[in-house]
Structure 1
Amino acid sequence: MPGYFRLEISPSDRRAHLGEAEAGIPAFALPGARLWCDETPLDLHGHGYLVGHLFERAGTGRRILDLDEAATAKIIASGGRSLVSDYWGGYVAVLKRPDGAITTFRDPSGLLPCYYREEGADIKLSSDAAELGRRGGVDYEAIARFLASAGAPSRETCLEGVKVLLPGECLTALRGLRRFESWWSPWEWTNVTESGFQAEAHKLREVATRCIESWASSFNSTLIGVSGGLDSSIVACAAARRAATLHCLTMVEEDAIGDERRYASVLTKAIGVPLLEARYDLGEVEIGRAVAPHHPWPHAPYYMQAIAAVHEELCREHQIDAIFSGNGGDNIFCAIRSASPFVDRFLTQGPARGLVDTLRDLSELTGASGAVILRLAWDRYRDLRRPVALHRDYSGLSSAAIAALARSVAPHPWMEAPEGALPGKAAHVRLLARAQRSVELYPRRTHAPHVAPLLSQPIVETCLSIPTWQWIEGGRDRSIARAAFQSILPEQLLRRTSKGGPGGFMQRIFQANAEAAGDLLRNGLLARAGLLDLTILEGASQPTVDGFEKAQRILTICAAESWVRSWTDVEPSRR
């Protein structure tokens, strides 16, 4: 499927001839590098290749399948940086510089994964981390950090020696030396403008519609998961305009919160597409089986096993060649519930009349009184120079594992706000960084690729430039996005503020597997490595809020245990 690649860079390899295909995957070569990918890459006329999807910022919006020599010359003359300004997409570009250096650039959306491993003077990169990891090569300290940080973004993975080339980042390799440069940063787009609310909404509609339509026109048969929520509805409505064939799926759970068919059907009737329904099937879930063993971290929750079974059947039946989602919508549409928008507006405009409007909007959105919001805003204002403490969850981790967390790794560069950054924009950027953890559902060599169109570079840049207080105008979250699609989405969906989800199914998973979960952790590799405090197993079955939270945390740790076992040749346990 489109987007799979593997790249090997070696100073000792000076061959420029076509490499040998592997298992039906064609190979391409540059002096010092060999590239394998599942479809013919964009040929940059002897200067390199581009794997994945590329679109022009101007023009038809259709996927670029061929670049003429003039366009290529402009890219090469800029050292590759004009890819950021003139194009967008989901791609990795491999360029050969005149001095012999090989430059690898991952586009700012991060929609095409890119992992790497350094081996002496050589370096290997791939869209599939499983190709770079080694059996038994699990980094237990990294797993503890992952569990404690709720999956906060990092260059680090949980596989020894495997790291992430970050979105918008360029890796240059020359004679065994390596340099990392940021060609794109979200902070470049956070100097907010003060355009009117409707002007911002119009701009977002134009940009988002164009990007989603471009993605939709790139595939023959697309499946999109819909809930009738704002984010997936925006993607579905825009995709329906250009998709050759569009299929909409909603997953159904037995409880009222998990059954969103009444909303999803409003959406599909509006766009004239039948609604496919599938129930979460407990029989598809095995807690001893890794949910996503191809991921370099135990990120995927167990309910994804049930969704994967449905996807597999539908992909066969309808010859699906791409799976779309509204993933990342809450993140880029700035769904924050804090006093930061008030502080942002004060720092930007001073004690203007608009502050009263923002105070009222926050009160309507959160239910907090004006006095409480003002106190929280004052606390945030006083602490402007202090780095924001990231969320930590130490439950289920041993004291030794927690103590070892002090040996931290370098933080994700986006998480460090520059001098003078607005606190609300810092929160917005942190949300964006978290969204890019979940860009890959299945291995691209064997499955249809997952596309989250809302993470497209032009959409992200547009959203980052909008003031945080405009995102909550009128006391509604994601207010700009709601206004942007007012003439496109059904009014019932625009007004919706409730959230559904698989929480009830996850509780059923725990209830059916509570005993097996305890056995899995007590006799597991994480406990053997000294990472766990097994007292978390006590009281998890109690029908209380504390019991529910413990149950969900236990399932998260079980998913990590099963993922570790998949990387250490331990037979998966059965329910």
Structure 2
Amino acid sequence: MGHRYLLLILPEREENEELVQHFATKTPLPLSWRHGRIQLFSDHLSDVLPLPQGNGVIIGKLFRRHGYPEQVCQLKSDDAARFVPHPSQGLIDHYWGSYVAAFSDPDRVTILREPSGGMPCYYLSSRGVVAFTSDISLLIDAGLLTASVNWNAVGRTLYWHQLPPEETAIAGVSQLLGGCSLILEGSGIRRAENWSPWDYIASDRDNDPERRSEGLKNVIQTSISAWASCFPRALVGLSGGLDSSIVAICLANSSAKVTCLTLATDDPVGDERSYAGQVSRAIDAELIEGFYADDDIDLDQSVAAGFPIPSGKTHEHTYNKKVRAAAETSEADAFFVGAGGDNVFYLTHSVRPLLDRLRVEGWSSDLIRTARDICRITGANIWEVIWEAARISVRKVPGLPWKGAGDYLSREFVESERCRSPEHPWLRPDDTVPLGKKGHVAMILRALHHIEHRDKALAAPMISPLLSQPVIEFCLAIPSWWACEGGTDRAVARRAFADALPAPVLSRSGKGSPDGFVARFIARHRVAIAERLLEGNLARHGLLDRAAVESVLAPNARFELLDCPRVMALLDTEAWTKSWSAR
């Protein structure tokens, strides 16, 4: 379990001491820091960093952008200048990590969440108190929240699939998005955007591919070494794919004690043990092997239970159970994953890199080389690639479009959502942003949403180091066509670690998946799954397309592997609604 905190901004009045004592008796956390109207309760005192000026506090893990890669355990007087005159921007510009920060000025209070969103931050306003927390059960304990499900928000979470929402599915509770701050001034509250991915697209960095790869390697190694300074005993979820292998190798290079965990299914597509074994032997780390198992999965228990956003899939129970056991056996301080690597390294099968290169460099023989690279990755021929590029180039779509996912949702709900625009500050790029970079940012958004829910029963925190702020910023500045150079996906990252990865892992183009296991699980439990969905809360509140659900889960129906994640997401969301409705 990660850092738990409750941050309270009390009303603007002098008689607040009685209110402080009231909350101190209600929350299980100790009072860790206070300044004026700000009161912080936290269970990790070592991760509470007061600002040198005394008017602010940082909650979580903090690292300096420059210097030795280790956790900042104390902010000293020479740090003070970096927070003047704008502490939020100074923090983002000179530091990175996984944190939420609070700053107090004479006329306002500012709460900032760092760009990668590693530290959860949910908030509400109740009876003059504005409360921020990593765990909304603390809001309930404090008497600030009586939890009830916001059914329209549940549907929007399913429809605007993988888009991090500001509105949660618990009525009255919002999420402070990564890179944003909330400013409390007088009786008003407003949001500000302090970090935007679009600011890192245009760059004057070195345009030499070899030097850029070396730069990426250094950024990743430095970031992971910084994380290892906090967690010297690391459990790594190792598939043997490129991303998790990079994480494992960089942790080993940082002198962390590394234990690896890989899970397999009983079909070849889901069995990556041979690749994981090569990586674990290369770094001399123990490899724990496990198998996905039906018996680990509880249809009535949500993997996102306790979170205010339903964002899990029921089959993840078996993965989570194996991770908990391995973490206990290895005495791990943290569980590291390669999640987000496909996204930050821009694993794409689109023709957008070709259009980006045309836009930046104009017509040249290099365009043909990029077109052929795309052919090798996608299996399309050159004419198909050119035709697709021509088709996309004439479409003038403003902003960053986000496609809704109406599968198995009721027609009435889908029609109502189509009239709405998805909401997120990153969906409004300038019209000059290349198409490939729009796709790149969309992929990063999906990764950030994926890591938002974590297994609450896991004693160790889960770390996604490839989504660290310096890594994201560096990758955004890499031209999109470099990601497919040579006809291989994530080409810059592959080149960066070419001398460190086992050759079969480096050249591996396919990806393993538990989809076969999930499909067989659904087939074996069709009746039970159908019963829960067709007679459950989602159907009762008009969110499900009952006919579509009945059809896909009929006894002899055939369904595609692509249907499996959606069915599991619906099932987990149903369990999530019941967990909150029963309170």
Fold match by TM threshold 0.5: yes
Find 1:424's aligned residue among 417, 424, 436: 436
Find 1:301's aligned residue among 313, 321, 332: 313
1:244 shift after superposition: 3.5
Question: CA contact under 8 A between 2:312 and 2:573: conserved in structure 1?
Answer: no
**Percentage identity across paired residues of the two chains:** 31
Find 2:55's aligned residue among 47, 53, 67: 47
Q: Could you tell me how far apart the structure 1 residues matched to 2:258 and 2:15 are? A: 44
Q: Could you tell me how far apart the structure 1 residues matched to 2:339 and 2:556 are? A: 31
1:283 shift after superposition: 0.5
Call closer, same or farther: CA 1:26–1:122 in 2, change over 3 Å.
closer
Please name the residue that 1:161 is paired with: 172
Find 1:538's aligned residue among 551, 564, 578: 551
Q: How does 1:258-273 map to 2 (within 5 A)?
A: 258-273=270-285
Please name the residue that 1:125 is paired with: 132
Find 1:493's aligned residue among 481, 505, 511: 505
1:62 and 2:70 equivalent?
yes
Find 1:435's aligned residue among 419, 422, 447: 447
1:2 shift after superposition: 5.4
1:63 shift after superposition: 0.4
1:158 maps to amino acid: A
Please name the residue that 2:466 is paired with: 454
Please name the residue that 1:25 is paired with: 30
Please name the residue that 1:146 is paired with: 157
Q: Which runs of 5+ in 1 are unaligned?
A: 571-575
2:5 maps to amino acid: F
Between 1:148-157 and 1:128-137, the stretch displaced more is 128-137
Q: Could you tell me how far apart the structure 1 residues matched to 2:9 and 2:74 are? A: 25
**Tell me, what secondary structure is at the counterpart of 2:87?**
coil
1:38 maps to amino acid: D
**Tell me, what secondary structure is at the counterpart of 1:251?**
strand
1:135 shift after superposition: 5.5
> Hey, which bits of structure 1, 4+ residues long, moved more than 6 A?
15-19, 443-446, 542-545
**Tell me, what secondary structure is at the counterpart of 2:71?**
coil
1:350 and 2:365 equivalent?
no
1:113 and 2:120 equivalent?
yes
2:33 maps to amino acid: F
Between 1:222-231 and 1:116-125, the stretch displaced more is 116-125
Q: Could you tell me how far apart the structure 1 residues matched to 2:563 and 2:95 are? A: 46
1:191 and 2:198 equivalent?
no
Please name the residue that 1:80 is paired with: 88
Question: CA contact under 8 A between 2:400 and 2:428: conserved in structure 1?
Answer: no
Which whole-Å deviations, capped at 9, do the CAs of 1:163-211 have from their partners, x for residues lacking one? Answer: 2211111111122212211111100001155702112111101111110
1:141 maps to amino acid: N
TM-score under structure 1 length normalisation: 0.94
Please name the residue that 2:104 is paired with: 96
1:115 maps to amino acid: Y
Question: CA contact under 8 A between 1:106 and 1:167: conserved in structure 2?
Answer: yes
Q: Could you tell me how far apart the structure 2 residues matched to 1:468 and 1:275 are? A: 35
Q: Could you tell me how far apart the structure 1 residues matched to 2:564 and 2:497 are? A: 38
Find 1:36's aligned residue among 26, 35, 41: 41
Q: Which runs of 5+ in 2 are unaligned?
A: none
1:44 shift after superposition: 1.3
Question: CA contact under 8 A between 1:294 and 1:443: conserved in structure 2?
Answer: no
Find 1:367's aligned residue among 379, 396, 415: 379
Which whole-Å deviations, capped at 9, do the CAs of 1:306-328 have from their partners, x for residues lacking one? Answer: 12212222333333221110010
1:249 shift after superposition: 0.3
For the aligned residue pairs, the C-alpha RMSD in angstroms reads 2.3
Q: Could you tell me how far apart the structure 1 residues matched to 2:133 and 2:305 are? A: 16
Between 1:359-368 and 1:143-152, the stretch displaced more is 143-152
1:6 shift after superposition: 1.4
Please name the residue that 1:527 is paired with: 539
Find 1:482's aligned residue among 494, 498, 508: 494
Between 1:276-285 and 1:6-15, the stretch displaced more is 6-15
Find 2:220's aligned residue among 185, 208, 212: 208
1:472 and 2:484 equivalent?
yes
Please name the residue that 1:9 is paired with: 9
1:329 and 2:332 equivalent?
no
Q: Could you tell me how far apart the structure 2 residues matched to 1:216 and 1:454 are? A: 13
